Structure 1
């Protein structure tokens, strides 16, 4: 049986644009969990393997939702460590931690409205395509998926560009989903307040709530 793709939840960024009080944006309350906790709940509900790439400050929060063996802890961005940092390095660390997966879905931890069904659909697209991403009403969003054949390129990523160069080098399957959450992230306190309102009402309207992720 072919191995299933793994969901790599990226939660190692500094969240520097967040201007709210009370710590990191991923630790902010969202209904009965946190921003990161809600993202992880949806990822786990997809029944795909999940690995979280995070920092010491958020490791305990991640471990409330996934097993400690599924948490990869990197040095904090501002820790002064000589270790490489950036989105690319986070992706590489997550891929290396699940080297035998049937592919990898990259999901930012600040996108808590992405639904389990969306993760499943993007994972399914990797059977026939080297790269796939979710989109809503023709607008590209997350997660972005990479097939197992790209392991050697993913595991050496570094810097802040993530895997963008791979998107330009390989054919990309655009997976249309009825899930506005694929466009929505939390960068500022205003984003968070709007997100709380949307979550409380059980509605998702990208035009009226959060600014879509570029």
Structure 2
């Protein structure tokens, strides 16, 4: 299977009131470091879309065998990060889109998705919470690249998922692994309290 992981890490963390959610500590390491390591554990090439003005995020990836993709203007929305990242991938490669702010996603979760993807490479696979709520990551076959490259703004890939819903398969992951994204200091505090 010719597939790459695109880790989207160019967002502004605007609701963190000066903090950076991707540098929050999870099990003793920055969240961005943790999820990049999980992605690398799959054995797939990993590209990380980063903003041009967050050197601490680049530093969190030092020593990891990831490909950095600098997004010129991430303020234009998530689609800009997605397109910049896709442009750095081989045109014939499938792409797993992985958000960098999912603190519960594990190497095992990504391995589960990869196993399903190998079995069904033409499908769109989407991680889901244990109750079936759709979440992330999302695996796209290479023939949908052109559709993804037309996206604009902050909608992510929703319109592509709707247009090709007949090909969509939800892959349940444990608990809320696929849906727990933490955007505020209060979110992080509640998540840490729940883990204790």
TM-score (norm 2): 0.84
- Backbone CA RMSD of aligned residues: 2.2
Q: 1:166-177 counterparts in 2 under 5 A?
A: 166-170=160-164, 171=166, 172-177=168-173
Gaps of 5+ in 1: 79-84, 202-214
Are the counterparts in 1 of residues 30 and 60 from structure 2 also a CA contact under 8 Å? Answer: no
| 2:140 matches 1:142 | no
Q: Deviations along 1:19-71, whole A, 9 cap, x unmatched?
A: 3x5x3221222332112112212111222221100113144234325346x01
Of stretches 53-62 and 160-169 in structure 1, the one that deviates more from structure 2 is: 53-62
81, 85, 104: which one aligns with 1:113: 104
Whole-Å Cα distance in 1 between the matches of residues 45 and 30 of structure 2? 21
Gaps of 5+ in 2: none
- 1:197 offset after TM fit, Å? 4.3
Cα separation, partners in 2 of 1:31 and 1:177, compared to 1, 3 Å: closer
Structure 1 runs of 4+ with >4 Å offset: none
TM-score (norm 1): 0.78
Are the counterparts in 1 of residues 71 and 80 from structure 2 also a CA contact under 8 Å? Answer: no
Cα separation, partners in 2 of 1:158 and 1:124, compared to 1, 3 Å: farther
Question: Corresponding residue for 1:18?
Answer: 16
- Give aligned pairs, total: 189
